[in-house]
Amino acid sequence: MSTTARTRPGATSEATPAPARRVRVDRDRIVTLAMVAPSVLAIGVFVYGFIAWTGWVSVSNWTSFVRDLSFGGLDAYRWMLTDFRYLSGLRNVIVFTILFVGASLLMGLIIAIALDRSPRGHPVWRTIFLFPLAISFVVTGVVWQWLLNPSAGLNIPLANLGLEDLPLWYVSTTIVPGVTWGRIEMVVPLALVAVVIAAVWQLSGFAMAIYLAGLQGVSEDLREAARVDGASELQIYRRVVLPPLKPMTITIIIVLGHMALKTFDLIYTMTGPGTGYVTDVPAVYMYESTFRANQFARGAAISMSLLVLMLLLMGPAIRARRKVEEETAA
């Protein structure tokens, strides 16, 4: 029996497998592998193979319409780290991600708590708050480009209300507080706030849906017990309701954060790079360097930096979620 086990490692779990059974198990193993092989192979090539390929392009001499994959060194990366537009875009995407994810978390939580108190017409509210999720970034960009246009949209009723200093929205070139680091002004370009508003409009419903699912898991008994102990509603939220929502918060950060880091269509349709690149992001710059300027090595280097940014955000977030899962499982 032991020799059989050694030669047939796939069938060892059965104590004394009948010969017919063993044939079945072996055939099943082959069928199973055949079921996933095409997908696994495709992911291997189209994800891992292509990442390596892009990595190679980023150090190649492919800097014109002519494809030249000979080794060219780290020029593209050196260029990137001193390029004003790239560094502005990097600042923008970090600021955008923080503001957008932060605002969506807050808004999603508030609305989820409100909906969790079962207001009249609960399904109707939910339908309203979630529908932007079905819409494309391009549509969102087209509409909000108009709504936040300084001479149209929201500024028309604001002007009718007698407001003198109308906001310039995405046309603004102001960066607050305006600390300069190297050639790059740091912190928040006001124009980005307009893009954040549009993105929050579209995706805060996602945060709401996740929080709502989490809130339904918080038992009413627990709240009632806290209430009997004389806790105020505010204390109940701080001590009883909010702590179990931590895994939801991490999930939202992972999903919205990675969407924010690769934002392309919204910026591309709504604002473009903006004056002084106040609304530019590396994803847009990558597209334009590669397919407009034929600077393939530079485009590849920019996208490599996007991948690094993603790993920097996702690594800790996924580890945090695993830890929370283990804690709740224990």
Partner 1 sequence: MIARLALPRVALYALLGLFAVFVLVPVYLMVVTSLKSPAEAILSRMWHLPGDLSLDAWRSAFATLRPYLVNSFQLAVPATVLSAFLGSLNGFVFARWRFPGSEIVFNLVLFGLFIPYQIVLIPLVVTMQSIGLYNSIGGLVLVHVIYGIPITTLIFRNFYARIPQELLDAAKVDGAGVLSLYWRIAVPLSLPGFVVVGIWQFTQVWNEFLWAVTLTSAGQRPVMVALQNLSGAQIVEWNVQMAAALQAALPTLIVYVLLGRYFVRGLLAGALKE
* Residue closer to partner 1, measured from CB, 77 or 287: 287
Asked if residues 206 and 100 have their Cβ atoms less than 8 Å apart, the reply is no
Q: How far is the CB of 113 from partner 1 (least distance, A)?
A: 9
Q: How far is the CB of 185 from partner 1 (least distance, A)?
A: 25
Q: How far is the CB of 32 from partner 1 (least distance, A)?
A: 5
Q: How far is the CB of 131 from partner 1 (least distance, A)?
A: 6
Asked if residues 245 and 211 have their Cβ atoms less than 8 Å apart, the reply is yes
Q: What length is written for the chain?
A: 330
Q: How far is the CB of 28 from partner 1 (least distance, A)?
A: 4
Beta bridge partners of 326: none
Q: Which residues contact 264 (CB under 8 A, 6 or more apart)?
A: 281, 283, 284, 287
The SS3 assignment for 165 reads: coil
* Residue closer to partner 1, measured from CB, 178 or 315: 315
* Residue closer to partner 1, measured from CB, 33 or 74: 33
* Residue closer to partner 1, measured from CB, 277 or 285: 285
Asked if residues 61 and 76 have their Cβ atoms less than 8 Å apart, the reply is no
Other Cβ atoms within 10 Å of 126 Cβ, number: 17
What is the three-state SS of 233-269? HHHHHHHHHCHHHHHHHHHHHHHHHHHHHCCCHHHHH
* Residue closer to partner 1, measured from CB, 185 or 288: 288
* Residue closer to partner 1, measured from CB, 175 or 193: 193
Q: How far is the CB of 327 from partner 1 (least distance, A)?
A: 16
Q: Which residues contact 148 (CB under 8 A, 6 or more apart)?
A: 154, 169, 170, 194, 197, 198
